[in-house]
Amino acid sequence: MPILALLSDIHANLDALEAVLADLRARHPAASRYHLGDLVGYSAEPDAVIARLDAEAIPGVAGNYDSTVAHAYKHCGCRSENARQEELAHQSFAWTLANTSDASKARLAALPFRLDLRPLGGHTAGPRVVLLHAHPSSNLIYVTEDRPDDFLRKMGASVEARDGDLVAFGHTHKPWHRVVDGVHYVNTGSVGRPKDGDPRAGYVLVTVSELGALQVRIERVAYDVERAAAKVIAAGLPAEFADFLRSGGRG
């Protein structure tokens, strides 16, 4: 049975990424691994994360952070709730622009907006899995769990999702899964910067039966958060980003 592992919002946190890769090697060595973007930003190791994904041959899509860093925009396109958050967002973006190599930026610029998979392959179509960073029309839209079914129906229709298909995305850093009219909508959460109060790295496993039925599991993996936090401080990034990793975005 094909197994897909979906990793989103790694955000330059190599320690969290390594923990997820080790978890997959131990428990699901045959899983096909994909990323859903936002490889950089907030943490200290953007180049190392990109190199690791390349070394592991993990394909994926572009997040808002990836495209804005690749093209040296003035802002990551992230939403800020107050002036301090806005200031921190600017600090993260400026640091990441200055500390991501040209070669890495070229890798980020080459990421597609969307990937469509047919995990069963072969001569039967089977279910389709659509990978996005945030939303089919814009990487600035937050598809949160409180979105009504109708919002999800429209989102599914815009990628021509049918009964039995799956639409996967990240961007909010809070995982959830819902089925509307037979279509699975899966927010994969975040590997490297969870915001749901659980500091463990998050990802999603999708198992596809031979008949095409999908099973979705939200996974969490403990990792050395203190090590990642120490790297944030040593890099000269704001101490708030280290605390964010420790608390899982709470407080």
Q: Give whichever of 9 and 196 is closer to Fe ion, judged by the CB atom.
A: 9
Q: Give whichever of 9 and 219 is closer to Fe ion, judged by the CB atom.
A: 9
Least distance from C-beta 11 to Fe ion, angstroms? 6
Q: Report whether 174 contacts 196 (CB < 8 A).
A: yes
Q: Which residue has the tokens 């946190």?
A: 13
CA dist 238 → 94, 105, 167, 244 (Å) = 12, 23, 34, 10
9, 15, 45, 66: which one binds Fe ion (CB under 5 A): 9
**Taking CB under 5 A as the criterion, which residues in 11-50 touch Fe ion?**
38
Structure tokens at 193: 């910067």
Alpha-carbon span 89 to 240, nearest angstrom: 11
Least distance from C-beta 197 to Fe ion, angstroms? 17
Residue nearest to Fe ion (CB): 38
Who contacts 96 (Cβ-Cβ below 8 Å, separation ≥6)? 12, 40, 41, 42, 46, 65, 69
Contacts with Fe ion, 51-80, as mask; x by CB under 5 A? ------------------------------
Q: Give whichever of 68 and 183 is closer to Fe ion, judged by the CB atom.
A: 68
The piece of 9-17, 81-89, 158-166, 212-220 that touches Fe ion (CB under 5 A) is 9-17
Burial label, 96 (beta-carbon count in 10 A; 0-12, 13-18, 19+): buried
Q: Give whichever of 38 and 45 is closer to Fe ion, judged by the CB atom.
A: 38
Contact residues toward Fe ion (CB under 5 A) are 9, 38
